[in-house]
Amino acid sequence: MAKRISFLLVVLFLGSAAVALGELTSSSRHLDADKAIQNYPCAEGKTSYVAKTGLTSCKLSHDTDFGEARIPAGSTIYLTGGGKPFSVFLSRDTAIHGYTCRGGHRNDYSTAFHPSGELKVCWLASDQEVEGVPCMRASFLSDVFGGTVGTHFYRSGKLRSCKLSRDAVIQERKFRQGEHVYLDTDGRPQQK
């Protein structure tokens, strides 16, 4: 009797695990035509889903709002399990909150968003001043040989960190070109 109960418990556990796994596994589907899914204009082609939560990624058929940004057609968006903006491979360089983030057809740079939709990481298309800080443009060489060159933001939109494109004085502290600067939410440099 104890063996039978143990066997039934194992079967129930495995069955529950299979159902849970089925709800979490993602699958791809090929769209034969452009189609709006969860209010996103998905282009014909490969689209990814998670059974329980819905759309996880698709290529956009036309410009659309994604979080607090306007994303161009041809970009590939990625959503969190809860359907919120996560990241995007921009189809072209795109201005988001006044900063031009790198894009292009090769999916080299992923622009990321906080779950609330605010910009989290932008790989700058050119050297740009961000809140008075000279941040370096993203390039393959500067990223591989000099550490990350992503420009990071707090949910408030304030600069969190970047790599400097030139020497700078920030809050009376001197920094050299190529250094990473990390700021607190009040814009004060922090040690890392």
Judge whether residue 6 has pLDDT over 70.
Answer: no
pLDDT digits (tens, 9 = 90+) for 101-116: 999 877 778 999 998 8
Taking only the tens place, the pLDDT of each residue in 35-90 is 998 899 999 988 887 767 788 999 999 999 999 999 999 999 999 888 899 999 99
Classify 46 as helix, strand or coil. strand
Instruction: Name residue 27's amino acid.
Output: S
Token representation of residue 58: 């698709």
pTM (predicted TM-score): 0.80
| 142-162 pLDDT per residue, tens | 666 666 789 999 999 999 999
Name residues whose C-beta falls within 8 Å of residue 185's C-beta, 6 or more positions apart in sequence. 154, 156, 158
Distance of CA 111 to the CA centre of its chain: 5
Residue 49 confidence (pLDDT): 74
pLDDT for res 142: 64
- Partner residues linked to 113 by β-bridges: 119
What is the helix (H) or strand (E) element at residue 16, kind and residue range? helix 2-24
The residue written with tokens 């695990």 in the block is 17
Mean pLDDT, range 26-31, rounded to an integer: 78
Q: What is the pLDDT of residue 4?
A: 38
pLDDT for position 25: 52
Q: Which of 126, 120, 79 is nearest to 103 (CA)?
A: 126
pLDDT at 14 over 80: no
